[in-house]
A and B are shown apart, each in its own frame.
Chain A
Amino acid sequence: QERKVTGRILDGSNSGIPGATILVKGTQIGSNTDENGNYSINVNSESSILVFSFVGFQTQEVPIGNQSIVNVTLVEDVNALEEVIVTGYTSEKKKDIIGSVSVVNTKTTLQQPSSNLGNMLQGRASGVTVSGTGAPGGAAKVRIRGFTSFGNNDPLYIIDGVPTDNANALNPQDVESIQVLKDPVSASIYGSRAANGVIVVTTRQGGTKTEISYDGYYGIQALPKRAYPSMINTQQYYEYLQKAAEGAGIPFKSNVFQNGIPKYLVTNMNVNQNPGDATNPNFDKYNYDPYSYDKTYQIAELSQGTDWFHEITRNAPVQSHQVTATGGSEKGSYALGVNYFGSDGIFKETNFNRVTVRANTRFKPKKWLTVGQNLQVAFARSSGSSGNPLDLGGGLDFAGEGSPWYNSYRVPPFIPVRDIQGNFAGTSLGEAGSNLTSPVVLARNKDNKFSGLTLLGNIYAQIEVIKNVTLSSSFGIDQRFGNGYNFNFITPEKAEPIRNNAFSEFFFRGGSWTWTNSLQYKLEINENNSLKLFAATESIFDQFRSISGNRTDYDFNDPSFWSLNTGKNLPQNNGSPSTPRTLYSIFGKVEYQLNNRYLFSGTLRRDASSVFGPESRVGIFPAVGLGWRISEEGFLKSISAINDLKIRAGWGQLGSQRNVGSSNAYSFYGATLTGTAYDINGTNGLPVIGYRPTVIGNPSTKWEAAEMVNVGIDGSLWGGRLDFSVEYFNNTTKDLLVGRQPNGLEPTVGQPQINVGTMSNKGVDAQLSTKGKITKDLSFDIGLTFTHYVNEAIKIDADGSSALLFGAGRLGNIQKVEGGRPLASFWGWQVDGIFQTQAEVDAHAAMSYKRVGSWKLRDINNDGTINGDDQTYIGNPIPKFQMGTDISLKFKDFDFQTFLFWNYGNDLYNYTKWSTHLRGFVGGYSTDVLTDSWTPTNTGASLPILNANDTYSGAISTSFYVEDGSFLRARQMQIGYTLPAGLLKKIGVGRARIYLQGQNVFTITKYSGPDPDIGILGNELQMGVDQFRTPAPRTIIFGVNLGL
C-alpha cells in the first residue's frame, strides 16, 4: 500500500530548506525538497522511518505511522568539531586543528552593527586586544598577543585570500567567517608577514538556496554623561583667577574682570585709543569682517559659562542598509551585496558615508574545474576633514591638539558661542586663551572632504589535475584611490589670528597585487589515517604614488571657489612616489594524521623581500605542530562526558618586515625646497636647492624573527554543551628591528632599521562556551574569552644601555622604553601628597618649587635634592587581562543578547588633566581646580595650592596624571523578536526579525577622562596616553532582518 507523504523541511528561522534529502531508512528510496523546502515521497509501510538530512544540520529520523504530512524542522549541527575552518591557504576540520585559531562567532558578532572589522573583534576572540574611538567610520586598533615589534604591530588581514592592511574598507555585513591565527603552527604559512598574527576573513558565498535578504538598522549615537568633563562657569572662573593671584601673592589684574564680571566683551578693539571698549562697547562700531583682522570689531554678550562640549556634540544618526542576494546550483553560485553605511559624527558638521558593492561568483563548469572571483568596490566619503577615514588615525578620528574635544577644553567659559549679530564669537581679547572656539572650527571645516575608492578582490581557478591533486591560482588586488581637500580660513576673532587663507588638495593611488599558485594533495589512507601536502609560490607588489598642492590668499571663502588655481600666492606642489615593495615566496605544508589520534603539521616558508639588501633578502620560516586527540584513546573513550579532548603544541619562527622602509638598504641624498634649500643669493625670493644625505641605508638588515611556542588544550564536553580552549604562549622576537640610534655626534639623517632588539610576550588565552536548554522554550549560549599577556622589552639597542624617551602633547619625557620593562611605561616624578606645614616643607629634599600646599615629590635616591635622578616608573599601559562575555538567551520567538567587555589592570596617562587641572594654557578648567586644590581648610586635596605663578607643577610629568584604566563596559545589549512563520507566509516573507539594541550601554570605571577605551591607541611606544580622542558614543539602534 504505497502512499504519498508530503511536507516541508524548515530551518531554525522557519525558512524552507531547498535541496534537503529525504530517504526511507534502509532503502534506496529518496527524494529532495524543492526551492521552498517542500517534498513528497512515496512510502510503502507504516513502520517506515524517514531520514531527513542536509549539510550543516543534524540528521533527523521520523517514524511515519499513519501521517501523510510530515513537517520537520532541522536543527543546525551543533557538532562544531566537524566544522570546516578556513585557516588561510587551506582549510581543516576543527577537530584536526593543532594551531591556535580563534574562530569568531560571526553570528553573534554581526548582530552588533559595526562600521568596520576591527571594531567587531573587541573581546570576541581570545588573545585579541582592541581599542577604538567614537569617530564615525573610525578604525579600531587590533593587537594579537601583545606586541612583537616596536613599530606597527597590525595583524595581517587576508580577505578571500588577498592580503591587505586596510581591512577597514571591508563591509562587515559581507563577512561569512573570521579566523584569527595566533601561533606559529597556524600562521607561519604567511611567513614574514605573520608575526603580528593573521586574521583570515571569508566573505559570503552563494549556496544552492536562492535567498534575498535585507538587513538594516537605524540608530542614534549620543555621548554618555560620564564623557563630559565638569568645567567651571564664568563666576567660578573669576573666583579662580582671584585665588590664583592671591596664591601667588600678586595683585589681581585682569583685562576682563578687573571691575567684576562685565556684560559685554569686545574683540579686536584698539584698547589704547578706546581703553574702555574692552568691556564697554561702542555699538556703532560693530563690524565682523571675515577677511580682515584689523577691520573686525566684534561685540559679544559675555557668557555665564559656555558648555563647549555640549555645543559641539549632538545626537548623531547612524544607519546601514544591506541587501544580499545569494543563490546558485552545483554548476555555479553567486553572492551579491549592496550596502550603504552612514554615520553622522558625534561632533557637529562631521559625517562619514560608505557604499560598498560586492559580487562573489563561483562556477564549476567541469567536475575538475572551479573558477570564480570575489570583488568588493567601496566608495567612502567624509566631511569635516580631508584625511582618509579608512586609515587608522586618519580622517575623522581626531586626536591631539587638532581635536574639537581639545579645543573645548582650551576656550574659557566666559566667551559666548556667538556675538550680538550671530557671528561666531572669538577669543582675541587678552587672557582669553589663544584658540578658536570649537564650534567655529567645526563649522569652517564642514566642507573639507575626503573621498576614496577601494577595490579589493581576486579571481581564481582550481583544477583537479588528477584525483586528490588540486592546482589553484589566484590573482588578487588591493587598490586604493583617494582625494582630499581642505581650506584654512582667516580667523579675525582669534588670538594668534590667521591672517591669510589657504587651500590644499591631494590625490593618491596605489596598493598591491598578489599572485598565488598552489598545489594540494590529499590522501585518505584509510578512515583514520590521512596525509595532506601543500606547496605554493606567491608574488606581491606594493606601491603608492601621490601628489598634493597648496596655495594661499583667496579672495573668497566660498567652497565653490576653492581650487589650486584660484589662490593668489605662489602654489606649492609636492609629490612622493613610494619605492615599490616586492615579495617573492615559496612555501609548503605537510599534515599527517595517524590513527585519528596523533596529528602532525609542518610548514616552511621562504620569503625574499626587496626591502632587504641582496645578501640578507631571504628569510626561512619553519614551524611544527603536534596534536594528540586524547579523547580517542581507550582510557577516555569510555567516558561519555568527554566528546573531544585534544592537547597540542607548536613551535615556529615568524618574520616581520612591516617596519622596514622600502628603501632601508640604500643610502641616498634628497633635495626639496622645504628641507634642503638656502637663500644663498640673499634675494628674499626663491632659495637655491641643495642636496643632503637623507637616509643612511643598511644593506645587512635582515628579517626580524619572532620565535613562538604555543601549548594548548581543547575540549568539548557533554555533547558540546561545554567547549573550551586554553593556551599558553611564549613569544620572543629576536633581531628586533629598531631604528638605529645615531651616535650623538652624527648629523641628523634618516636611520635604517637594524636588528638589535629583543622583546618577549608571554601569556594565556582562553575561550569557553556553553550552551543548552533550561526549559523547552528557553535556551542559552554563553561564550567567554580571556586574554592575558606580559610584555617585556628585553633589549632595545646594541649596547643594551640606553632608553628611548617620549613626550606627549606639551609635556616632555612622559614615557620610557628600556630593556627589562614593558613597552611605553610611564615615566616621571612620584607625588607623595602635599606639604601641609612649613616644617614639612623645610624637612623635605630641596625642590625647585616647594611651599605649604605644593606637591611633595619623592626623593627616589634620597640625596636631599629632587632632580632628574628622581624620575621613576609611574605606570604601565598594558592591561593585566581582558575578558569578553557573550550571553545569548532565546525564549520562544524572543532572543536576548548581551556582550560585556572587561579590561583590567592597566594604567592610563590622563594628559587631558594638563589642560583642565594644571591649567597648561589660559582656557577652560575643571571644577576640581576650585574644589580639589589645596587650601588650609582643604588639606586632603590632590591638586597643589592655586598660584598664578606656579610654572612648575604643570611643567613636569608626575604620577598625578596616571590613573587606573580598568573598565567594564556593556558593549552591547539586544532584544530581538522573530515574527511567527505562519503570519509571514501569508505575506510571502520567509523570515523577519526586529530588534532593539543598545551599544556602550554602561561603563564602570574609575578613570576620570572621557573614555577609558583608549588603551592601545597611539604609536606602540607611546600608547596609553589620553590625548583628546573622540569618546565612544552610546548608541540605540532599531534593526530589521528580512528574508524572502
Chain B
Amino acid sequence: MMHARHIEIAVGAFVAAGMAALFLLAMQVSNLSVVGGDEGYQVSARFDNISGLKVRAPVTVAGVRVGRVTAVEFDPNTYQALVTMRIHPRYNQLPLDTSASIFTSGLIGEQYVSLEPGGDMEYLTEGSELILTQSALVLEQLIGQFLFSMGSGDKE
C-alpha cells in the first residue's frame, strides 16, 4: 500500500512539474503576457512601400507598444500595401486622424509602425482606416537620391 502511495505522489509531482514548465513557457518565455492575442480593435492603413514590415511587428505610440500588425496584403486596385493592425482595447482614445509611419528600430533592427495622434474629436474604432501614412525609408533609395544630388551639385 505504501508503495502505491509513493508512486502516486511521484506521478503527481511529475505532472505538476510538467504543468509548471508549460505555465512558465506561456507566461515568461512567450508573448502571452505582453499584448493579448485576439482582444482589441482592428484598424488598417495603406502604405506606398512597407519595406520589410512583417506580421506581428509592433505598433507603437510615442515609443510605447500598443498593438501589433496582424496582416500585410497587397491591394491590386491602388497598388499599395494594406496593413492591418490590432490595437489593445486599453488604448481606445486615439484620434481618427492619427497618422501612421513605418520606422526601423536601430540601423539593422526590425521595422515597426509608429502612430502619431492627430487632433480629431472622434476616436478610432474597429475597422477604421488611417488616411495619413508615411512609407518606410528604403536605404537604397536614400543612397540613390544622395548620390544623384551629389552628382548634380558637382555640375553647377
* B is a partner of A: no
Residues of B within 8 A of A (CB): none
